[in-house]
Amino acid sequence: MRTRLIVAFIVVALLAALASAWLTNAVLPWFPSLHALIPAPKPLVSLLFTPPPHHPHGTRHARPVAALAFFLVLAVLLLTVIIGLAIAASRPVLGPVRRLARAAERMSGGDLSVRVQPQGRDDLARLVASFNQMASALEAKVGELQRMEARARQFAGDVSHELRTPLTAMTAVTDVLGETAGLTGDAAAAARLVRQEILHLNRLVDDLIEISRFDAGTARLVTDETDIGTAVGRCLRARAWENVHAAVPAGLTVCLDRRRFDVIIANLVGNALGHGGPRVTVTAGVQPDGRCGRSLVVSVRDHGPGLPEAAVPHVFDRFYKADTARARSEGSGLGLAIAWENARLHGGRIDAGNHPDGGAVFTLVLPVIGHLAAAVAPEAEPARL
């Protein structure tokens, strides 16, 4: 590659020098006034060019305007030849560079199998060979990491399923111990503590199994026309939550997966009660969305201190804790991650932030597919729970 560049530079420089000298030698005899601006041509160059003949009376054969036009046409032709030679000389150098650039773009897009065929034995060919070696090593490394991640997910799913049977038996035993009237004092306290920890472990196992379904791609939607007010009310009543105020317009019906929608609302409200402050409000409505027409928007707001700015981008990460001083939480640490995965499965999203008047706000946005099953009258009173 170095030799090609040197030869191309020498050829272009020589052609440019010869063309400049020829123009200087050819134009000066026709325009004597330019002698003060342009130096006289060199003797060697003068041998290559012959000045135009003069008339016996001292007049020139051609008019200066016609001669200038002739010289301009020749200059354009020379410039075209020089540009063509420069392009032809640079093509063997720029071609492999362009192929490398396209291969790098494909690799950045996720295609690690891309390779570039080397040509020749110069420095550029060695660069292409190094690129191919790097791509092969990167593909092997990424493949190994993906296999390790798949094995880790499979292990977590298998362990979670294996724990279900002993946990079911332990839960039954603790239920019996809790109903035994003869336990008092430390024995009763120990039984309550064991039962509480087993319930916590049950929730963790259930969440791990749910996460493993998302990772394996086996989670599926079972959609049906769902009344949002009724679904939110059942979610709150089933968990006997207090200090929760729901305002959902009557007759708001959307096609979605009821069970997964219940999981989303339960996790968002539970997070607001556990880490926010009373009271918690749940509002819902349909808003226009530029991407999908209309969207169901459900907001869950608490009146606590709000989310730290550094924690907002990570609240949906698995096992993330905004308060690092908390060694252990009552939940599994997967609730918001599961809610986010369920929203994504619906084609929607969950946004986290802080309300201007204080408190954290989690906003669920789900696309409305088709049309609303029941129109919502503007004057309809919201259902208050």
* Highest mean pLDDT of the ranges 12-16, 27-31, 59-63: 12-16
Write down the pLDDT at residue 160: 72
pTM of the model as a whole: 0.57
Domain ranges of the chain: 2-111, 147-216, 223-384
pLDDT band at 221 (very low <50, low <70, confident <90, very high): confident
Q: Which of 91-100, 300-309, 336-345 has the lowest mean pLDDT?
A: 91-100
Give the CATH architecture of domain 147-216: Orthogonal Bundle (1.10)
Q: How high is the mean pLDDT of the chain? A: 76
- β-pairing, 293-301 vs 360-367, is antiparallel
Write down the pLDDT at residue 64: 58
More confident residue, 317 or 46: 317
Q: What is the mean pLDDT of residues 76-96?
A: 72
* Helix, strand, coil distribution of the chain in percent, nearest 5: 55, 15, 30
Fold of the domain spanning 223-384: Heat Shock Protein 90 (3.30.565)
- DSSP assignment of 310-346 equals TTGGGTTSTT--S-TT----SS-S-HHHHHHHHHHHT
Q: Which of 54-68, 298-312, 363-377 has the lowest mean pLDDT?
A: 54-68
The pLDDT of residue 193 is above 80: yes
Write down the pLDDT at residue 291: 62
Residue type, 299: S
Q: Which two tokens stand for residue 62?
A: 């051609």
How many CA atoms lie within 13 Å of 110's alpha carbon, on the beta-carbon side?
A: 0
Q: What percent of the chain has pLDDT over 90?
A: 14
What's the CA gap between 230 and 234, in Å, rounded?
6
The pLDDT of residue 205 is above 90: no
More confident residue, 308 or 58: 308
The pLDDT of residue 368 is above 60: yes
Write down the pLDDT at residue 322: 63
What's the CA gap between 119 and 237, in Å, rounded?
72
Tell me: the pLDDT tens digits for 335-344?
898 899 999 9
